[in-house]
Amino acid sequence: MSNIKQINIPDLGDVEEVEVIEVCVKVGQTVGSEDSIMILETDKAAMEIPASVDGEVKNILINVGDMVKHDMPFVEIEISENSNEGIKNQDINNEPEIKTETKKEIIEDYAHDELSISKPLIPDLGDVEEVEVIEVCVKVGQTVGSEDSIMILETDKAAMEIPASVDGEVKNILINVGDMVKQGMPFVEIETITKVNTKETKASETIVQETLNTIADTKKKIPEKTRQNSQPINYKNTSIHSGPATRKLAREFGINLLEVKGSGPRGRILKEDLHAFVSQRLNDKTSQVGFQHSQPDIDFSKWGNISFEKLSKFQKTASKNLHTSWINIPHVTQHDDADITGLLALRADLNKENKTKVSPLAYIIKATVETLKLFPLMNTSLNKDLDTVVIKDYFNIGIAVDTPEGLIVPNIKDADKKSILNISNDVMSLAKLAKERKLKVEQLKGATFTISSLSGIGGKYFTPIINPPEVAILGLSKPFENLSLENKEIVNKKLLPISLSYDHRVINGAYAAKFVTELSNQLNQLEFLKESFNES
């Protein structure tokens, strides 16, 4: 038999409340009595709080950042009723016997319905290897349907809901907010009820056997030191072993202790291991990705009142990506004005004729793809060694979408094979999904060229930053009216400011200027654009 023991915070001395700075275990992990469950930190020191019993972690009652005090419960551990003191006086090699009455009760309870525990797994995440859990949507004991969301994951550019996939009652949640998860990992245990169609006797025999197996498994989990006092405990424990001083140094260095191999007893991580880890990283050229962010530490309150607002995950990711792009890619930007007078007139006619509302962007995307066909270097990428250009025979056009969380860039797959009307529908659909944070991973990967449009806002020319691993990006500003002479007559034209940023390692200035000139030409191929509006 087993029971759940709730472990409380020990006496903290003169300190009333202490902050949790690290949780060292996960639900489902087997721990020994000396293994650390969490680390607390006061103003002057850090302290590890051990499990104090042997068993399996069933529930973690605290989170990083919580303030805890003496006698607060912080973890629930399932321990064997006979695992420690009581078992010493018993013959543990004798298998427990299930009494006849117990077997009868099991048969009566479960002859018609079969209870089972289902462990849904993290589905395919596309090109992303690990994703952060940003929200857990259920609690233990809650009844869920197969379509109900269990948690929400967030990549650098999108959030995705992970459903239960089965109907039943949540018995155990295997993840926490902030965890990094990957494909194939179990994330929840759900108790499901299955109607048994076979004979009652067969169902009963199965359940009795399962109960016997459970007891046998419990026996196997009895600590080795209890069976043989001369041998140490042999737990399969994945917790990190290191002292408070070492952990503090790791935080100062920004080191993930999971990546460090300990050289101390039982794999304990020492300060020397951290120094060796840093030295190895500094000497590993493949791990260096350009300059690091730096910002002066200034006390702005000296000049007046200030307040603070944390950057969102999207904003921090965007900052890192833009900084990396800017310092690693030699940007050059080519500006021009494209005459779209005829295009806007054609658009008005086609919208009226087809009783629809297609934005100019769809026409521009179609014209851009035709231009990319004539200038294939704009549709390439550099390989990781920076010595080969990867030429792509497909055209996936990224569109920068402004959302409350920041810019997100989904892409239209195979834009060269789609009509202007279909491209317009894709633009609206992707923009809607982006603003609702419902984009799928595959909709964010694989772009070959990006268009960033400010034409609905204002301004005239800007320098868009390239979205690696692409080598160019097209910026669109707000069209403006311009008077010019044609055949000695003053005409009013509608001009579109365009700004092409390109990677000078791949593309030279003459090539970029010719691309921009050809794009202006393609925007005036009105017959082609008309035929492409609703082509099958």
Q: How far is CA 3 from the centre of its chain?
A: 36
CA distances from 347 to 167, 341, 373, 441, 532 (A): 50, 10, 23, 33, 12
Q: With the CA atoms of 385, 387, 393 and 396 taken in that order, what torsion angle do they form, in degrees rounded to the nearest 10?
A: 50
**C-alpha dihedral sign at 244, 250, 254, 260:** negative
Tell me the β-bridge partners of 38.
23, 49
Q: How far is CA 495 from CA 94, 220, 309, 345, 501, in A?
A: 90, 78, 40, 13, 19
Determine the 3-state secondary structure of 465 from DSSP.
coil
Cβ–Cβ under 8 Å, residues 57 and 36: no
CA distance 341 to 484: 13
Q: Dihedral sign, CA of 360, 365, 369, 375?
A: positive
The DSSP bridge partners found for residue 497 are 337
Residues facing 489 on adjacent strands = 486
Q: Which two tokens stand for residue 446?
A: 């694989």
For residues 340 and 523, the answer to whether their CB atoms sit within 8 Å is: yes
Question: Does residue 241 have an active-site annotation?
Answer: no
Query: What is the rounded CA–CA span in Å between residue 326 and residue 473?
Result: 13
Helix, coil or strand: residue 44 = coil
Q: Are 191 and 117 in contact (CB under 8 A)?
A: yes
Q: CA end-to-end span of the chain, whole Å?
A: 68
Contacts of 194 (CB under 8 A, 6+ apart): 113, 114, 115, 116
Q: How far is the C-alpha of 418 from the C-alpha of 321, rounded, in Å?
A: 30
Please state whether the peptide bond connecting residue 469 to the residue before it is cis, i.e. omega within 30 degrees of 0: yes
User: Cα 275 vs. chain centroid, distance in angstroms?
Assistant: 30
What 3-state class would DSSP assign to 403? strand
CA contacts within 13 A on the Cβ side of 534: 8
Q: Are 104 and 169 in contact (CB under 8 A)?
A: no
Dihedrals phi, psi of 267, to nearest 5 degrees? 75, 20
CA distances from 115 to 22, 106, 399 (A): 36, 12, 49
Q: Among 70, 323, 335, 504, which one carries the catalytic annotation?
A: 504
Distances (CA, A) of 223 to 43, 56, 217, 229, 354: 38, 12, 12, 10, 76
- Report the alpha-carbon distance of residue 498 to residue 502 in Å, rounded: 13
Enumerate the active-site residues: 504
